[in-house]
Amino acid sequence: MWTPPVWLTEDPYDDDDPETVLEAEPLSRFLLQFTLKQASGIAPFNAWTYVMPTERLELLWRFLRPVPLSPYMPAYGGHLFYAAPGLLASISADENHADAAFGTRHRETLALLKAYDFPWSRFDA
């Protein structure tokens, strides 16, 4: 089934000649990515890290499972989504640095992340 392409324009209000780029995902998957990003951000309980070394994420791969989509808005950080029971994660990383955002409906789910001793900018548990 054909879905229309998604075109992204960098802030057209701040730039007289903004660049327009083709999103990697078709509209249907882009909307799923958008929904995941919004769900993570508006969850009742959140945890956000400051930028940290990428290798600090290694412990998360034991329980987080990747959502099989390409990076969300790669021109702006390329977030990848991961899920675990009751938890949604949005992670932006390169070879050296990473930051992560977690969202959940239950405070207890976030409490489990406290053991990882990440540099938190927000932690609602």
Locate the DSSP E strands across the chain: 7-9, 20-22, 45-49, 52-53, 65-66, 80-84, 87-93, 97-104, 120-123
Write down the pLDDT at residue 88: 96
Residues of the chain with pLDDT under 70: 11-12, 75-76
List pLDDT tens digits, range 68-96.
988 877 766 778 999 999 999 999 988 89
Write down the pLDDT at residue 7: 85
Helix/strand/coil for 41: helix
Judge if pTM exceeds 0.85: no
